[in-house]
Structure 1
Amino acid sequence: MKLHPIWQEYPDLQPELAKTLDLMENSVKLKNKPVEIAVMEMVHAGGKLLRPAYQLLFSRFGPDQDREKAVALAASIEMLHTATLIHDDIVDEADLRRNLPTIAARFGNDVAVYAGDYLFVCCFKLLADYAGSLRSLQLNSRSMEKILNGELGQMDRRYDLTMTVDQYLENISGKTAELFALSCTVGPLESGASEKFAKECAQIGLNIGIAFQIIDDILDYSQDATAIGKPVLEDVRQGVYSLPLLLALEKGRSELTPFLQKKDAMTTADSQAVYRLVQQYDGVARAHQMATRYTDKALKAIRKLPADAADTRGELEQLTLRILGRKN
């Protein structure tokens, strides 16, 4: 399977990421062919494998360099991530992801639910086979709980015009940033690094994940559907209010509220008006500033990582700058 072009600049990571994809593919063995096909399509859908890459890089910070284990843990994390994407698309009734039909849109909700469930099973099978202790299983279980709580928090606040920036940050810390934090924690922990060091790495991942989600939300107000691989402003129509809109509401609430009160009856013209007002009231610019603050926190901590792993530290810095600048 082909890797995303982003990894051409990281030749030492390419072999392990390729093995990660191979292991994911080889882990899928189902008698039910529709579900198996759906799972394989998601595995082959062209994701960037960012979370496995962070897991593989952070796994170099430790005395026990079992690269087979590192690859297996990377595959388990990507399977967990893929499962959450499938289930998210079902809940959101999304038709597109990465400019391709979602599993639910193509195969129906029943097949999609089972495909996501099966990927959860694959994730924990790999952990059971390769994790050196119950600690990694505990971390994965707790991460799943935090991801779910973030999703539930987002669901609870749909169409909520009183939602605050702090509540938004709490939600994305769970639904997006937690998996980045897990990716940066499991690697060093399973390589024999200390709990204290692993917790410091988790904070790096959390800051990366928060910045990543803010930037993803900014794209909804700055690029077209083809560029981001999904319909623009779909979140707003579904009552999911992200940071650019929340910040714009602080200055332009009286103008924005009439459009948002229409809820799912919002027209294309209404969406375009919301888009313009978010730009006009500096929602995008201020969201960029907040993303930059979280990016800077992550980079500052990365630069303090052990000096004897300078090459890995440099790759982490370069990768973080790349993805948080959304350079393709």
Structure 2
Amino acid sequence: MIDYWANIPSLQTELAEVRDLMKHSISLKNKEVENAILEMLEHGGKMLRPAYQLLFSNFGKEKNREKRLSLAASIELLHTATLIHDDVVDKATIRRGQKSIAHQFGSDVAVYAGDYLFVTVFKILAKHSASLENIEQHAGSLEKILTGELGQMNNRYNLNMTVDEYIENISGKTAELFALSAFVGASESKASLTISRLAYEIGKNCGIAFQILDDLLDYTQNSDTLGKPVLEDMKQGVYSLPLLLALEEKRADLTSFLQKKHEMTSFDIEKIEQIIHDTNAIERAEQLANHYTEKSLKKIKRLPLEETNSREILYELTKSLVERKR
């Protein structure tokens, strides 16, 4: 929610403008689907990715407001497109507390809706991107996101999946978009190559921490708080870090339930959750999230000071992500 940024009025104002730009870029003949997309944008999350893009754009010498807002809109539209396609693959019925587009209109319509947003993203890039190199960066990031998604798909119901494989998957699936947001903000504002590369690494580490913490919420929050059913990914065979770590301690106990796959009952799920909480998996996952957050914070300290105070804002924003764990 935009209210998340109430303590940073300048950023709050820009993100509200970004949301309006996103809405104005959507125009479909099928008004029912158009309204569903607009509803999804209206009930968007905290808009962290465009926020990172806007903050990193302050480290460059180019100060083109229309361009930075448009590129921030493209980042969030890209994120939204991936979510719509995720819901098709995962057969998700709820997204951000609302019925998913796939659930409302069917998988075919949802795929086309996601594809439409991808086209919209590249139309914005074609108009505002300073160089072919940055469009290539977007294409490369899309490839990494897809690779992460495919890696996750290939590991469905894989009880032998490793933590390293999990990190590799989320590095593409989630972290790459954070990295792209930071990199585009810096490079398109004509920041130095050193700062642009630093921005990419900051975004990457932040994105890994963000996804670990997001997966942790499945085990520490309820459905009303999350805006989606808890442990839904696990039921679909997507095993996140807490479960992988718990398998290292209680493999036999967990396997007896997980092998049931689609036949798992609510009782089975409760037992799995109980077993995980009986291990130190939650604490170990939190520690790994903190590790990647610290890597980001150390790199943020290497950014130059400038008049908009963006370095301090980025530092506090990144540090605050660890507070999502409870």
Q: Supply the distance in 2 between the matched residues of 1:30 and 1:268 (Cα, whole angstroms).
A: 40
Alpha-carbon distance in 1 for matches of 2:288, 2:325: 18
1:262 maps to which of 254, 260, 263: 260
Residue aligning to 2:150? 152
Picking from 77, 80, 95, the partner of 2:78 is 80
Deviates more, 1:165-174 or 1:38-47: 38-47
Contact between 1:151 and 1:175, CA under 8 Å: does it hold in 2?
yes
Q: Where does the alignment leave 5 or more consecutive residues of structure 2 unmatched? A: none
Equivalent runs, 1:216-295 vs 2, <5 Å: 216-295=214-293
- Decide which of 11, 20, 23 is 2:21's aligned counterpart: 23
- How far is 1:310 from its partner? 7.0
Are the aligned partners of 1:80 and 1:120 in contact in 2 as well (CA < 8 Å)? yes
Q: Deviation digits for residues 263-284 of structure 1, max 9, x if unmatched?
A: 1111111111110111111111
1:10 aligns with 2:16: no
Q: Is the 8 A contact 1:39 1:119 kept in 2?
A: no
User: Root-mean-square deviation (CA), in Å?
Assistant: 1.4
Structure 1 residue 44: deviation in Å?
1.2
SS at match of 2:158: coil
After TM superposition, give the deviation of residue 110 of structure 1 in Å: 2.4
Aligned counterpart for 2:159 among listed residues 158, 161, 174: 161
- Tell me the CA shift for residue 16 of structure 1: 1.3
> What amino acid is the match of 1:113?
V
Partner of 1:109: 107
CA 68–324 in structure 1, closer or farther in 2 if over 3 Å, else same: farther
1:243 partner amino acid: L
- Checking the alignment, whether the CA contact within 8 Å between 1:99 and 1:229 is kept in structure 2 is yes
Give the drift of 1:327: 8.4
Q: Distance in 2 between matches of 1:32 and 1:326?
A: 38
Of 47-56 and 33-42, the range deviating more from structure 2: 33-42
Secondary structure at the counterpart of residue 326 of structure 1: helix
Distance 1:19 1:326 in 2: 26
SS in 2 for 1:221: helix
Tell whether the 8 Å contact from 2:216 to 2:325 is kept in structure 1 after alignment.
no
| TM-score, length basis structure 2 | 0.97
- TM-score, normalised by the number of residues in structure 1: 0.96
Are the counterparts in 2 of residues 20 and 72 from structure 1 also a CA contact under 8 Å? yes
1:203 corresponds to which letter in structure 2?
E
CA distance in 2, matches of 1:30, 1:116: 12
Contact kept, 8 Å, 1:34 with 1:111, in 2: the verdict is: no
1:93 is aligned to: 91
Contact 2:2-2:16 at 8 Å conserved across structures: no
Asked if structure 2 preserves the Cα contact closer than 8 Å seen for 1:86 and 1:112, the reply is: yes
| Equivalent in the alignment of 2:295 | 297
Distance 2:161 2:282 in 1: 18
In 2, Cα distance between equivalents of 1:256 and 1:264: 15
Structure 1 unmatched runs, 5+: none
